[in-house]
Amino acid sequence: MSKITISPSPHVYEDTTVKRLMFDVVIAMLPVLAISIYFFGMGAIIVTLTAVVSCLAFEWLIQKYMLKQEPSITDGSALVTGILLAFNVPTNLPIWIIIVGSLVAIGVGKMSFGGLGNNPFNPALVGRVFLLISFPVQMTSWPVPTGFSNSYTDAVTGATPLGVMKEGIGAGESVSAIMDKIPSHMEMFYGHMGGSMGEIAAVALLLGFVYLLIRKVITWHIPISIIATITIFTGILWMINPESNADPLFHLLTGGVLLGAIFMATDYVTSPMSVKGIWIYGVGIGLITVLIRVFGAYPEGVSFAILIMNAFVPLINMYIKPKRFGEVRND
């Protein structure tokens, strides 16, 4: 018999590891990836591969040569960041822009704060927003979903339903008139519309959500609080004037609401720790999203909303505490 081990209790552990959690997220993203490849073809594959490879490479290089740590790319977090970054860009984005985005996501968004667990902002969103501000033309010329095609950067481009809606309302058209120009709700649900690679297919995103819930990777609180807030807020606006405001379902199915709510806002590192805090966070993301979409200059605001609420997370964690057992109330 070898020497016996002594350690403080507990002596048993759940088999969940960081790696398993990350790979579960990757599995949950596969349906989205499949639908994107179906609609956008080669472009989706090239963008995803570029983003994933460059994210992994930057993480490895930075850990090895700048931080002089043991590289930990096998934990899967850089893989998740890479796929999420790819999901957040159009499929005709030039490769070099994606590499720049990966560098910003991993280098600035994550490693500059000390790596996994220490970054205040979602790295993939940092990358995306950087690209959106730096390369607005490339980042907003979305390819038209045509079914699988081999075209990459020379794909036919068009506007997203959200963009059409924003422009139409701005030009004084009525919502019902605009609706005729864009895909039906059912088509949007299946993903037949222009947009960033991972945000088009609601059905695939919801499938991923169910998988994450079953595997207990995330709880329902963050996605549902965001979706409910957006539904209620846009619902009120729609009921006030259905001709100048789009219906809530339109808002949910277009743009990055579901992608953001299910995969981006739920990022462990950048979301609050307590359930109460999560509600504040989710409602905040919902409100800011709608404010940007309806009253702001950009047609879409999910990524800004998430980043803004990310910034509040440390504050939320400091002041919103879980209710303690047997807490003595002074009332």
Q: Which stretches of the chain bind another protein, using CB under 8 A?
A: 1-14, 16-18, 20-21, 72, 75, 77, 115-118, 219, 268-269, 271-275, 321-328
Give the residue with the Cβ less far from another protein, 234 or 310.
310
Give the residue with the Cβ less far from another protein, 6 or 240.
6
CA angle at residue 65 from 60 to 68, to 5 degrees?
95
CB of 138 to another protein, least distance (A): 33
Provide the sign of the torsion angle of the four alpha carbons 47, 50, 20, 317, taken in this order: negative
Main-chain dihedrals φ then ψ at residue 147, nearest 5 degrees: 90, 170
CB of 306 to another protein, least distance (A): 16
CB of 319 to another protein, least distance (A): 13
Other C-beta atoms within 10 Å of 296: how many? 15
Give the residue with the Cβ less far from another protein, 13 or 96.
13
Give the residue with the Cβ less far from another protein, 5 or 150.
5
CB of 230 to another protein, least distance (A): 23
Radius of gyration (C-alpha) of the chain in whole angstroms? 21
CB of 278 to another protein, least distance (A): 8
Cα–Cα distance between 121 and 256 in angstroms, integer? 17
CB of 16 to another protein, least distance (A): 5
Cα–Cα distance between 277 and 261 in angstroms, integer? 16
Give the residue with the Cβ less far from another protein, 137 or 328.
328
Give the residue with the Cβ less far from another protein, 139 or 313.
313
Main-chain dihedrals φ then ψ at residue 106, nearest 5 degrees: -80, -45
User: What are the residues facing 158 on neighbouring strands?
Assistant: 142
| DSSP annotation of 158 | E
3-state class of 8 per DSSP? coil
Cα 58 from chain centroid? 21
